[in-house]
Amino acid sequence: MPNPNPKHLFHATLFLSILLQALSKSTIEPCSNSDSCNALLGYTLYTDLKVSEVASLFQIDPIALLTANAIDISYPDVEHHILPSKLFLKVPISCSCVDGIRKSVATHYKTRPSDTLSSIADAVYAGLVSSDQLREANSISDPSVLDVGQNLVVPLPCTCFNGSDNSLPAIYLSYVVRPVDTLAAVAARYFTTLTDLMNVNAMGSTAINDGDILAVPIPACASNFPKSASDFGMLVPNGSYAITAGHCVQCSCGPKNLDLYCMPASLAVSCSSMQCRGSNLMLGNVTVQQTSGGCNVTACNYDGIVNGSIVTTLSPSLQPQCPGLQEFPPLVAPPTTVARDTVFAPAPAPLFDGDGPASPKSSLVPSTGLPGGFSPANGPISGISSGASAACSLVKPFPALTYALVLLLVKLMIPVAL
């Protein structure tokens, strides 16, 4: 058999690349209202960037970016810290309902001289958006012509599914599949099951392609704030923090439970009163008193920010035993390097190591902790995910079409006899 013509191989490789891009898919969630939810984007830095530059790409608060990744914000000038290329971050965004589909449209990008729609989609936003989506969202007739300084809407994928997964609080991460990924590996890294991940993404098989975008449920701590609160519906992913009330309050989740815990933030400068009415307890304070009938526990809890004022509630309860010290998700120093074996790997969720309370050495969280009563952790279980039946995958390949394309590819690779 004669050797393949290099020209044929080039065209075949190019065709295969286009084919794989065409077969990539994304989970979408139909919607019929204007409600929004908290969501996360899995983002891999395409170059070294400052914290503030990454935040600017998505028009979010730099401190919110840091706390979502449990990065210590007490470091001097942390917003100007340079993060290394290939670092994987979880980016907190607001997921809206636009034209009957869940997506985020709050991100805008100002074009630079060397930009193309493909470079913006593939490099700058790491595959979270496609060049076709950028073209459609901005009504661009000729994608080869971009004006420098042009302001582009960047439609980003997100899902809400009622903020739950199998009836448990959850926040959804939009994760871009890498060449080395398998569905089982992604499920294991985020402490969910293969069945659950398939249900959430309405998948008929475990096959995934480079560039697919998966909706990954992450267990979360749910708030119970009134609808009048500006941070109503806040969810905090397990193993991380969230900042609210104008940097006055920080809330944490985990690492070994799914109970939201809020306290004054270290960044608080000018804040309304955080003292619980009718007591001398401040937000986050807990008192315990052992009695013959059990343990009297009184806590000063955060109940949202309403009309610019921090709302606190005093919560007395009788528990069978007195709770231990409050545990916090471990903080990490602002990253400066990326381990080689994690360049293409999903960022893992927090581990439940059972080694006792974490002791962050930072002004973000006091190292001594505060007493608090918490129930055992409830992780995700297998089964049909809430809202999964309404999900559908875009651009799913049809078996006959795939077969025809493969035949065409084979023909391109075989030289024609003269």
Residue 367, SS3 per DSSP? coil
For residue 46, what are its two tokens? 């395409």
What does pTM read for this prediction? 0.77
Hey, which residues does 309 pair with through a beta bridge? 306
pLDDT at 194 over 90: yes
Q: Give the pLDDT confidence of 130-162 residue by residue, as tens digits.
A: 999 999 999 999 988 899 999 999 999 999 999
Instruction: Return the higher-pLDDT residue of 84 and 359.
Output: 84
Q: What angle do CA 276, 281, 282 make, to 5 degrees?
A: 75
Q: Where are the alpha helices (DSSP H) in 174-241?
A: 183-189, 194-200
For residue 345, pLDDT over 80 is answered with no
Decide: helix, strand or coil at residue 241: strand
- When pLDDT is averaged across residues 104-120 and rounded to a whole number, the result is 95
**E strand or H helix at 11:** helix 6-23
| Rounded Cα gap, residues 5 and 17, in angstroms | 18
Q: What is the largest CA-CA distance in the chain?
A: 98
DSSP state of 244: E
pLDDT above 70: residue 54: yes
CATH of range 24-222; options 3.40.50.300, 3.40.50.261, 3.10.350.10, 3.10.129.10 = 3.10.350.10
Residue 228 one-letter amino acid: S
For the stretch 297-329, pLDDT in tens is 999 999 999 999 999 999 999 999 998 888 999
pLDDT given at position 406? 37
Using alpha carbons, select from 127, 118, 154, 125 the residue that is nearest to residue 49.
Answer: 125
Helices marked H in 288-360 — which ranges?
none
How far is the C-alpha of 173 from the C-alpha of 233, rounded, in Å? 17
| CA-to-CA dists, residue 236 to 61, 218, 242, 244, 400, angstroms | 16, 10, 6, 11, 44
- Region of poorest pLDDT, from 12-21, 172-181, 203-212: 12-21
Instruction: Write out pLDDT tens, residues 265-305.
Output: 988 778 989 999 989 999 999 999 999 889 999 999 999 99
Pairing, β 168-176 against β 37-44: parallel
pLDDT of residue 385 exceeding 90, the answer is: no
The residue-averaged pLDDT of 350-369 equals 37
